[in-house]
Amino acid sequence: MRILWNPWRYEYIRRFSTGDEKSGECLFCRLKTAVDEEALILHRGRHSFIVLNAYPYNSGHVMVAPYRHVGSLEDLSDEELLEIMQLVKLSMRVIRKAFNPDGFNIGVNIGRVAGAGVPGHVHVHVVPRWVGDTNFMGVIAGAKTLPVSLQESYSMLRKALTEITGGSNGIHEGSSDS
């Protein structure tokens, strides 16, 4: 596989993604107390938060994670699980407004064998997809190209979030249009 250099991501990787031997905290546990703009956190709910993925499959790829460090969906309270699903729904609305994708992949990898990059802290991936977003680059060059930088993606998503929510938390319990 060829290497495509993207040095602008180093600061994020250094600050949030590398192991912290002293605290033993995982990525999501470190992110929950980080400064939103530095950590690429788009939204904070009562039980969970939305963060832009620093290693995206596509531009606009976000993750929804609970604040509580649990490894599987069945370990979440009903309130945590409900809010996570509400934030997945909000994420889809925000990504649609900012990037106008043709569809989404939404998934949870539970356990390292299932592909979880952070196996001890469950999280939901919300990945926008477009017709033709898989092309010859992956097959021939073994590389994925992303047309939008992380910072630009973050700005676009924050703007869309503000427009959608009007500054509220974006979750309207009992509402069919939240």
Tokens at 118, concatenated: 């952070």
Q: What is the pLDDT along the chain (178 residues), one digit of tens a residue?
A: 555 556 655 555 555 554 444 456 788 998 988 999 999 999 999 999 999 998 888 899 999 999 999 999 999 999 999 999 999 999 999 999 999 999 999 999 998 888 777 888 999 999 999 987 765 545 555 556 677 888 999 999 999 999 999 877 666 544 444 4
**Active-site entry in 43, 61, 121, 123:** 123
**Burial group, residue 63, by CB count within 10 angstroms (0-12, 13-18, 19+):** buried
Decide yes or no: CATH 2.20.25.90 for domain 23-130+138-165: no
Strands 48-52 and 103-107, bridge-based pairing: unpaired
Tokens at 126, concatenated: 């919300």
How many residues can be counted in the chain?
Answer: 178
Q: Is 121 a catalytic residue?
A: no
Domain boundaries, the chain: 23-130+138-165
The pLDDT, as a whole number, for residue 178 is 41
Q: What is the pTM of this model?
A: 0.80
